[in-house]
């Protein structure tokens, strides 16, 4: 061994310090396990802070007709029935408890008149359902969980004299490899290897149970709302240890990201702008969403602007405005308008709230949005419309997990939050991600702790694996004259944005696979100048192989799925096909890094859940044999 590697032993290691990771860690620590949280950034900076709208939970505080069955129905409809029904069911049932629990950690949500947690309307949700704090709900969530962890550390300090006796945060630490023990014939998680960003020093976490909570993959796209951390690390780590990914073709493009000016390009304009009265107009000034209501939604959405406008004050007797259609529909509509030449110069459309609400109520309802655009771009949203367009926002696909335990196919490996797949089907409803990461973060922590408790023998890391991991991590630094990682990253974003973007075609997808194969060749020769101490060039060089592997999965699955559904739109197959609803596309990786793709049936919904839907609605999604 060339250098001394710092070693730590934990019962449960959580990779990722966003909402799902922190919730999982809290649960593991509450189960009495010695827990480590590994964060690529500083503690409390996770991408969760970007979530604005709220956390969906059928508490029924605003409309008492709401309950888990309605929420379940909305989630399945939003996901076009491709969701793992069991995950959608657990999510709808458990979300309220997870939200209420946050209040005992110190969260301060906005309130209703009778002092309960206020809930707001959001696209795809039948009733006002999103617990929120102005438009900074994600920040509230992360801060609350962060502070809960601190409070657990304070308890441990009292009991053991050490804050870090049972739960420790390793900030600015990146995991590059998971290590396995297969000595008893089953591959089991044995540890995680990575480096401290600050020093470049290597670190090994020996742990029998690991929870992946690394978030998404957006940094493979050019226009994205995602931060630099979203490089698909968890997806790639899972693939390389033998776990599988599902639904990778489904990427959510948020319909309303800013397209102009450049300082705010990609930044999201929360859906609540539309929930509170904002409307979409093309460059001719026409409110165009009425032309894009698909048949499956015709019954729930208003047909005239007059009816739509009445809905904001009288939702019981009017149908919803079409601006509140699920995200994929709105994204597609904007895309069509722009393609038809009715977009703005920057390639977007107008989102107008200025002419719809008085300035004071815009300020009250959307304070951080107002302040963000005023400061970042000198745009006053109370005076002028915003220029918006589709932005890569969320990946529905992810690590294939057991719906109840969040266990992957590798023993000891769990996944929760955006990195896991199945819950959202082909399209995620706004607000369902914050509740998803609480519900399944908790479950992942709980079952990872239980798995650790049942083990009789601690798996051991093999020295050879460790040496290989060190070598891979150091390779870019030792490659003099290697290719510039920033250039390669830029080209990858270009390929994914142009060829595997929001509207997809067979020829382009085939071309993308060729281009990605070339990039793979070049990424294997990437170089980094400078030393190991806080060197972003080196960090990016190591992240690239993850982004590339995951991008290949997305491109392959997108080529395979010959239909349009949710976050996957094929120009050559514009219709939803009930036959494809029965199919999940599952990706795995060979030891050489080749992506392999197989078809797998979607689990069949239990009859009592099926009964929650009208036959006529099911007919839109299911084949005749299924309905019979």
Partner 1 sequence: MTVRQFKVWRGDSAGGQLVNYDVDVNEGEVVLDVIHRLQATQEPDLACRWNCKAGKCGSCSMEIDGMPRLACMTRMSTFEENASVTITPLRTFPVIRDLVTDVTFNYVKARETPAFAPPKDVAPGDYRMQQVDVDRSQEFRKCIECFLCQNTCHVVRDHEENKTAFSGPRFFIRAAELDMHPLDARSDRKEYAQKEQGLGYCNITKCCTEVCPEHIKITDNAIIPMKERVVDRRYDPLVRLGRKILRRDQLEQEAVAVTTLHQAHPTPQPDGAAPINWHRELAPPMGADVDDKGHLPLNELLSDRVGANSPFGDDVEFPVDPTKLNYYHPEQKH
Which positions are catalytic?
254, 274
In angstroms, give the least distance from the CB of 367 to partner 1. Answer: 9
Q: Does 524 bind partner 1 (CB under 8 A)?
A: no
In angstroms, give the least distance from the CB of 42 to partner 1. Answer: 7
Residues 6+ apart with CB under 8 A from 123: 271, 274, 275, 324, 325, 326, 327, 330, 429, 430
Identify the residue whose tokens are 């949700």. Answer: 125
Where in 267-306 is the site for partner 1 (CB under 8 A)? Answer: 267
In angstroms, give the least distance from the CB of 215 to partner 1. Answer: 11
Q: Which of 89, 94, 126, 140 binds partner 1 (CB under 8 A)?
A: 140
Q: Does 96 bind partner 1 (CB under 8 A)?
A: yes
CB 106 within 8 A of CB 443: no
Q: Which of 173, 372, 427, 569 binds partner 1 (CB under 8 A)?
A: 372
Q: Does 562 bind partner 1 (CB under 8 A)?
A: no
Q: For the beta carbon of residue 269, count every other beta carbon within 10 angstroms.
A: 27
- Specify the residue, 305 or 536, whose C-beta has the smaller distance to partner 1: 536
CA atoms within 13 A on the CB side of 354: 14
Q: Which of 30, 62, 69, 150 binds partner 1 (CB under 8 A)?
A: 150
CB 176 within 8 A of CB 538: no
Q: Which stretch binds partner 1 (CB under 8 A): 64-72, 95-103, 337-345, 399-407?
A: 95-103
- Specify the residue, 103 or 291, whose C-beta has the smaller distance to partner 1: 103
Q: Does 382 bind partner 1 (CB under 8 A)?
A: no
- Specify the residue, 485 or 566, whose C-beta has the smaller distance to partner 1: 485
In angstroms, give the least distance from the CB of 227 to partner 1. Answer: 4
Q: Does 108 bind partner 1 (CB under 8 A)?
A: yes
Q: Does 105 bind partner 1 (CB under 8 A)?
A: yes
Q: Which of 6, 97, 303, 384 binds partner 1 (CB under 8 A)?
A: 97
Residues 6+ apart with CB under 8 A from 133: 107, 108, 109, 110, 139, 140
Q: Which of 486, 572, 579, 615 binds partner 1 (CB under 8 A)?
A: 486
Q: Which of 36, 264, 325, 585 binds partner 1 (CB under 8 A)?
A: 264
- Specify the residue, 98 or 581, whose C-beta has the smaller distance to partner 1: 98
Q: Does 50 bind partner 1 (CB under 8 A)?
A: yes
Phi, psi of 259 (to 5 degrees): -110, -15
Q: For the beta carbon of residue 183, count every other beta carbon within 10 angstroms.
A: 13
Using N-to-C axis directions, what is the helix angle for 137-160 and 432-454, rounded to 10°? Answer: 30
CA separation for the pair 421, 185 (Å, rounded): 27
Question: How many whole angstroms from its chain centre is CA 542?
Answer: 22
Q: Is the dihedral of CA 391, 344, 312, 293 positive or negative?
A: negative
Q: Which stretch binds partner 1 (CB under 8 A): 21-29, 37-45, 424-432, 601-609?
A: 37-45
For the range 605-610, what are the long-range contacts, defined as Cβ-Cβ under 8 Å and sequence gap of 24 or more? 605/85, 606/85, 609/72, 609/85, 609/89
Q: Which of 86, 100, 505, 618 binds partner 1 (CB under 8 A)?
A: 100
CA separation for the pair 246, 557 (Å, rounded): 9
CA separation for the pair 331, 268 (Å, rounded): 13
Where in 206-245 is the site for partner 1 (CB under 8 A)? Answer: 225, 227-229
- Specify the residue, 17 or 209, whose C-beta has the smaller distance to partner 1: 17
Helix (H) or strand (E) holding 104: helix 85-105
Q: Does 110 bind partner 1 (CB under 8 A)?
A: yes
Q: Does 547 bind partner 1 (CB under 8 A)?
A: no
Token output for 63: 């409309």
Where in 303-342 is the site for partner 1 (CB under 8 A)? Answer: none
CA separation for the pair 2, 626 (Å, rounded): 60
Q: Which of 67, 283, 361, 368 binds partner 1 (CB under 8 A)?
A: 368
Q: Does 166 bind partner 1 (CB under 8 A)?
A: no
């Amino acid at each position: 061994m060339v250098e001394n590697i710092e070693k730590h032993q934990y019962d449960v290691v959580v990779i990722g310090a966003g909402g799902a990771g922190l919730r999982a860690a809290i649960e593991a620590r509450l189960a009495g396990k010695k827990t480590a949280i590994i964060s690529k950034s500083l503690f409390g900076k996770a991408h969760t802070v970007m979530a604005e709208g709220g956390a969906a939970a059928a508490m029924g505080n605003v409309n008492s007709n709401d309950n888990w069955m309605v929420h379940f129905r909305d989630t399945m409809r939003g996901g076009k029935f491709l969701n793992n029904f069991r995950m959608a069911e657990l999510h709808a049932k458990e979300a309220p408890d997870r939200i209420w629990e946050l209040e005992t950690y110190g969260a301060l949500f906005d309130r209703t008149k009778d002092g309960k947690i206020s809930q707001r309307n959001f696209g795809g949700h039948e009733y006002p359902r999103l617990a929120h704090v102005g438009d900074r709900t994600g920040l509230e969530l992360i801060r609350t969980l962060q502070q809960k962890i601190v409070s657990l550390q304070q308890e441990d300090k009292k009991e053991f004299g050490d804050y870090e006796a049972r739960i420790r945060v390793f900030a600015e630490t990146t995991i590059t490899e998971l290590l396995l023990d297969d000595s008893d014939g089953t591959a089991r998680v044995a540890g995680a290897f990575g480096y401290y960003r600050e020093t470049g020093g290597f670190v090994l976490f020996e742990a029998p149970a690991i929870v992946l909570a690394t978030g998404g993959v957006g940094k493979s796209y050019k226009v994205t709302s995602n931060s630099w951390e979203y490089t698909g690390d968890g997806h790639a780590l899972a693939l390389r240890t033998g776990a599988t990914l599902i639904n990778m073709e489904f990427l959510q493009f948020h319909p309303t990201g800013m397209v102009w000016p450049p300082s705010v390009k990609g930044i999201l304009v929360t859906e609540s702008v539309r929930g509170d009265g904002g409307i979409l107009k093309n460059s001719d000034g026409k409110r165009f969403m009425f032309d894009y209501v698909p048949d499956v939604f015709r019954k729930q959405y208003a047909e005239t602007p007059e009816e739509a406008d009445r809905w904001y004050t009288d939702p019981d007797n009017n149908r919803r405005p079409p601006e509140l259609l699920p995200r994929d529909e709105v994204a597609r509509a904007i895309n069509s308008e722009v393609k038809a030449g009715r977009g703005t110069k920057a390639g977007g459309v107008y989102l107008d709230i200025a002419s719809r609400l008085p300035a004071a109520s815009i300020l009250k309802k959307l304070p951080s949005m107002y302040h963000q655009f005023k400061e970042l771009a000198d745009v006053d949203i109370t005076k002028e419309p915003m220029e918006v367009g589709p932005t890569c926002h969320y990946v529905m696909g992810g690590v294939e997990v057991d719906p109840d335990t969040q266990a992957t196919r590798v023993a000891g490996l769990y996944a929760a939050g955006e990195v896991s797949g199945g819950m959202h089907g082909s399209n995620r409803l706004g607000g369902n991600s914050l509740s998803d990461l609480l519900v399944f973060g908790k479950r992942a922590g709980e079952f990872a702790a239980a798995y650790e408790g049942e083990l009789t023998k601690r798996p051991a890391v093999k020295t050879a694996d460790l040496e290989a991991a060190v070598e891979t991590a150091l390779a870019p630094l030792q490659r003099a004259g290697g290719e510039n990682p920033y250039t390669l990253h830029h080209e990858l974003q270009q390929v994914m944005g142009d060829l595997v973007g929001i509207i997809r075609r067979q020829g382009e997808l085939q071309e993308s696979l060729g281009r990605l194969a070339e990039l793979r060749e070049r990424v294997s020769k990437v170089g980094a100048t400078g030393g190991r101490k806080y060197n972003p060039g080196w960090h990016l060089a190591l992240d690239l192989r993850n982004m590339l592997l995951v991008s290949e999965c997305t491109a392959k699955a997108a080529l395979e799925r010959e239909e349009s559904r949710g976050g996957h739109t094929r120009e050559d197959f514009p219709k939803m096909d009930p036959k494809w609803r029965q199919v999940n596309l599952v990706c795995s990786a060979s030891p050489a890094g080749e992506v392999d793709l197989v078809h797998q049936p979607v689990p069949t919904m239990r009859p009592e859940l099926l009964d929650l839907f009208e036959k006529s609605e099911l007919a839109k999604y299911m084949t005749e044999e299924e309905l019979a």
